[in-house]
Amino acid sequence: MRLILMGPPGAGKGTQAKVISGRLGVPAVSTGDIFRANVSQSTPLGVEAKRYMDAGDYVPDEVTNAMVRSRIAEPDAEGGFLLDGYPRTVAQVEELDAMLAESGHQLDAVVVLTVDQDEVVARLLKRAEIEGRADDTEDVIRRRQEVYADQTAPLIAVYRDRGLLREVDGMGSVEEVSARVFAALETDDATAAG
């Protein structure tokens, strides 16, 4: 199964990606996590990514695309993967399409978590207290929301037109949201072949 998990910052992508990938037995590929791992190890990729992430901006497409290309070519992703936070721009959609075409695979579904704006801000400020992420300050959260609305929200229509979109209510407990995601996937003809 090849899935994409989308949603605004704080929608619960990272949280749900762990649950879904565990249940489906495919690796969760989180671009945000890969960038953060590189930042913490001060690799050249991390040094570059940090400049953008701390400001709430997207890391340039060329950098992100190359990183995903190499990650999904690893053996554990041969049988499928769950992309958490990728693609986020039209250029990334095009690049992912090219990667899939080259490997002869197709996407099975694109899950979008929907949440109230107030709720996502509250979640991220709570995480700021716990984890102290540099991009979880109120100003940067606001910037990340703007970038999402501007660059990523338009992708929803792209995948809807392809018949792949599954919109899932992301409000409520983690367990409630997971149950909705699995229900959306199970009732979805597009994923049956996965």
Site for ligand B4P in 8-47 (CB under 6 A): 9-15, 31-32, 35
Alpha-carbon gap, residue 55 to 29, rounded angstroms: 23
**C-alpha angle 56-169-155 in degrees, rounded to nearest 5:** 50
Question: Which residue in the list 2, 88, 166, 180 is annotated as catalytic?
Answer: 88
Least spacing, CB of residue 109 vs ligand B4P, in Å: 18
Active site (annotated) includes residue 13: yes
Site for ligand B4P in 65-84 (CB under 6 A): none
Least spacing, CB of residue 120 vs ligand B4P, in Å: 7
**Would you say 141 or 165 has its CB closer to ligand B4P?**
141
Kindly report whether the peptide bond that precedes residue 44 is cis, defined as omega within 30 degrees of 0. no
Cα 96 to Cα 19, 45, 64, 74, 108: the distances in Å are 23, 20, 11, 15, 13
Site for ligand B4P in 127-186 (CB under 6 A): 127, 135, 144, 173-174, 177
Least spacing, CB of residue 78 vs ligand B4P, in Å: 22
Alpha-helical (H) ranges within the chain are 13-24, 31-40, 44-53, 61-72, 90-103, 117-131, 138-147, 154-161, 174-186, 189-192
**Would you say 109 or 140 has its CB closer to ligand B4P?**
140
Alpha-carbon gap, residue 65 to 5, rounded angstroms: 16
- Cβ neighbours of residue 163 closer than 8 Å, sequence gap 6 or more: 190
**Would you say 51 or 162 has its CB closer to ligand B4P?**
51
Least spacing, CB of residue 32 vs ligand B4P, in Å: 2
Residue from 46, 48, 52, 90 binding ligand B4P (CB under 6 A): 52
Alpha-carbon gap, residue 128 to 135, rounded angstroms: 8
**Would you say 12 or 80 has its CB closer to ligand B4P?**
12
Active site (annotated) includes residue 162: no
Q: Which residues are catalytic?
A: 13, 88, 127, 133, 144
